[in-house]
Amino acid sequence: MNYQKILEEIAAETSVLKNTGKVATYIPELGKVEPSKFGIHLKCTEGKSYAVGDSNEHFSIQSISKVFSLALCLKHKGNHVWQRIGVEPSGDPFNSLVQLEYEKGIPRNPFINAGALVIADILLSELKNPKKDFLDFVRNIAEDQSIEYDAKVAASEMEYKYRNAALTHLMKDFGNINHDVDTVLDFYFHQCSIAMNCKQLSQAFTIFLNYGKYDLSKEASVLNPVVAKRINALMLTCGFYDESGEFAFRIGLPGKSGVGGGIVAIHPRHYSVAVWSPPLNNKGNSELGMRALELLTTKTEQSVF
């Protein structure tokens, strides 16, 4: 498969599309990004990489970090995690409060904000130095020790924390949060603030390829095959909130988006791919990013379906 040629075609075809998306501004620091940025990096299971555009430029990974926190949490806590979080799509926006009240503080899945906040609460109990240990995990799986938190983004999220604070308070009232609310928020905002580029993200997501056994030499980061299978299933069914059905319908790969405009998707036996274009559609997913991935699975005639 000539992936490089295909990525170049995708960059050319998406560059002439009218982008009706909007850069996220509810976290003011994210609103400073240049909307025309666009990059893709694709890493194949046999090790080769292909890239176009701004694929080496760092951006805020935001909710893509929820996949890393879930993976780390499952490594530590195993199936106990599922006593406090469900595995069903929510069909609601990522930051919705509505379901949580009906469902007594148990989030539908680990990728909506409420679910990721419970995962953050569990990791605060499990990790000795939560911020350091989380960053080390991401650095190790991305094979890049230069990856950092973005303190300005984390502070901007804390300043406008109201909705995430409401979710955390509500869950604490139901007994599903053990730590102090601001401690959970501080850890969660830091994980979301991590700055990475498409190359680092596609490398990090190789841990979900080949049933968690992409690279047997990297023993520390290899996932249990059952965990890899389950995380892929959750990415497919819940990775795009109330647009997860649309993503499966148009693209046909497990993946995860973030409000920084990044999307990472994997074809479990072929590749991991990260795309970045900051303007978001009205569901909070990168408009051109989704279009680019749709072109990828259409042109390659490869998807999980």
**Comparison of 192 and 248: residue with beta carbon closer to ligand DON:** 192
| Cβ atoms of residues 147 and 194 within 8 Å | yes
Q: Which helix (H) or strand (E) holds 121?
A: helix 113-126
66 is catalytic: yes
Q: Which of residues 183-222 bind ligand DON (CB under 6 A)?
A: 192
Say what the alpha-carbon torsion angle 291, 294, 300, 302 is, to the nearest 10 degrees. 160
Using rule CB under 6 A, residue 29 touches ligand DON: no
Closest distance of CB 139 from ligand DON, Å: 20
Among 69, 96, 109, 164, binds ligand DON (CB under 6 A): 164
What is the distance in angstroms between the CA of the first residue and the CA of the last residue of the chain?
18
Q: What is the DSSP letter of 224?
A: P
Closest distance of CB 268 from ligand DON, Å: 22
188 is catalytic: yes
- Alpha-carbon distance of 239 to 71, in angstroms, equals 14
**Comparison of 13 and 182: residue with beta carbon closer to ligand DON:** 182
| Cβ atoms of residues 144 and 61 within 8 Å | no
**Comparison of 113 and 303: residue with beta carbon closer to ligand DON:** 113
Using rule CB under 6 A, residue 168 touches ligand DON: no
Using rule CB under 6 A, residue 257 touches ligand DON: yes
Using rule CB under 6 A, residue 110 touches ligand DON: no
CA-wise closest residue to 11 among 34, 32, 35, 41: 41
Q: Which helix (H) or strand (E) holds 255?
A: strand 255-257
Which candidate in 43, 55, 60, 66 is catalytic? 66
In DSSP terms, 49 is beta-bridged to 43
Instruction: Kindly state the tokens that stand for 44.
Output: 């194949």
Residue nearest to ligand DON (CB): 63
- Alpha-carbon distance of 226 to 213, in angstroms, equals 11
Q: Which of residues 266-305 bind ligand DON (CB under 6 A)?
A: 284-285
- Alpha-carbon distance of 93 to 224, in angstroms, equals 30
CA-wise closest residue to 108 among 81, 90, 83, 84: 90
211 is catalytic: no
Among 54, 150, 157, 287, binds ligand DON (CB under 6 A): 157
Which candidate in 3, 50, 149, 188 is catalytic? 188
**Comparison of 62 and 202: residue with beta carbon closer to ligand DON:** 62
23 is catalytic: no
Q: How many C-beta neighbours within 10 Å does residue 287 have?
A: 22
| Cβ atoms of residues 171 and 100 within 8 Å | yes
Using rule CB under 6 A, residue 62 touches ligand DON: yes
**Comparison of 14 and 257: residue with beta carbon closer to ligand DON:** 257
26 is catalytic: no
Among 94, 149, 187, 214, binds ligand DON (CB under 6 A): 94
Write out the catalytic residue numbers.
63, 66, 188, 241, 259
Interface with ligand DON by CB under 6 A: which residues? 62-63, 94-95, 113, 157, 164, 192, 257-259, 284-285
